[in-house]
C-alpha cells in the first residue's frame, strides 16, 4: 500500500528522549501497558515515531534477520490523532524498512475486540491466521495475523 510521502508529519526512529511522550500515548491506548524498561529495550529494534509538532504515534517491531521474519509488537496513536492515517503511515514505513532488511513475513497480534485495527491490518494486506486465548481472565482473546512481503 503506497502512502503519500507529502502528508504532514515525519516518520523517524525513536530515541531515548522520546520515551516520555511514548509512555503517555501508551497509557492512553492500552489497558496492559509496557513499562519504561520494555520501551528502552525496543529502541534496539525497529522503533518508529510519527512526529508533527509532537509525537502522535509509534510502532515497535522485533526482527529476526536469520528467519527473515518480524513481529509488530506495539502500535499506538494518540487519541487526538486517531482516524488521521497515522497508523497506516507508520505501518507502511515499517514495512518499507523491513523489505530493505529482506524480511519476508510480518506477524502481529491484535485483541479480537479491536475491529477497527483488524480492518486496517486487512486493508494493508495482513491475513487472519487464528484466534488465540490466554488462560488469564484479564486478557481478551486475540487474533494472529500475517503479511507475506515477498509475495506482494
Please count the CA atoms within 13 angstroms of the CA of 102 that sit on its side-chain side: 4
90 domain residue, yes or no: yes
Assign 142 to helix, strand or coil.
strand
Q: What is the mean pLDDT of residues 24-31?
A: 94
The predicted-structure confidence for 71-107, as pLDDT tens digits, reads as follows 999 999 999 999 999 999 999 999 999 999 999 999 9
For strand 69-77 and strand 105-111, is the pairing parallel, antiparallel, or unpaired?
A: parallel
What integer is the mean pLDDT of 58-64? 94
Residue 17 lies in a domain: yes
| In a domain? residue 5 | no
Report the domain count for the chain. Answer: 1
Residue percentage of the chain with pLDDT more than 90: 74
Question: In Å, what is the CA distance from 87 to each residue of 11, 32, 67, 93, 133?
Answer: 11, 19, 26, 10, 25
Which pLDDT band, with edges at 50, 70 and 90, does 151 fall under?
low
Taking all residues of the chain, what is their mean pLDDT, rounded to a whole number?
89
* 4 in any annotated domain: no
The reported pLDDT for the residue numbered 138 is 61
CATH code of residue 106? 3.40.630.30
Query: In this structure, is residue 130 part of a structural domain?
Result: yes
Cα separation, 148 vs 152, whole angstroms: 7
pLDDT at 4 over 50: no
- What is the domain range of residue 139? 10-148
Mean pLDDT, range 10-38, rounded to an integer: 95
Does residue 85 belong to any structural domain of this protein?
Answer: yes
- Whether residue 2 lies inside any domain: the answer is no
| Residue 53 maps to a domain | yes
Amino acid at each position: 500500500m503506497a502512502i503519500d510521502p507529502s502528508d504532514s508529519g515525519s516518520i523517524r526512529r525513536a530515541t531515548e528522549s522520546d520515551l516520555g511522550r511514548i509512555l503517555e500515548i501508551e497509557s492512553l491506548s492500552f489497558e496492559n501497558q509496557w513499562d519504561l524498561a520494555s520501551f528502552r529495550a525496543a529502541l534496539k529494534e525497529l522503533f518508529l515515531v510519527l512526529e508533527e509538532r509532537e509525537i502522535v504515534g509509534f510502532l515497535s517491531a522485533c526482527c529476526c534477520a536469520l528467519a527473515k521474519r518480524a513481529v509488530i509488537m506495539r502500535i499506538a496513536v494518540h487519541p487526538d490523532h486517531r482516524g488521521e492515517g497515522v497508523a497506516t503511515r507508520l505501518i507502511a514505513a515499517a514495512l518499507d524498512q523491513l523489505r530493505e532488511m529482506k524480511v519476508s513475513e510480518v506477524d502481529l497480534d491484535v485483541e479480537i475486540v479491536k475491529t477497527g485495527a483488524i480492518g486496517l491490518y486487512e486493508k494493508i494486506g495482513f491475513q487472519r491466521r487464528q484466534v488465540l486465548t490466554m488462560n488469564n481472565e484479564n486478557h481478551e482473546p486475540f487474533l494472529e495475523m500475517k503479511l507475506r512481503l515477498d509475495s506482494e
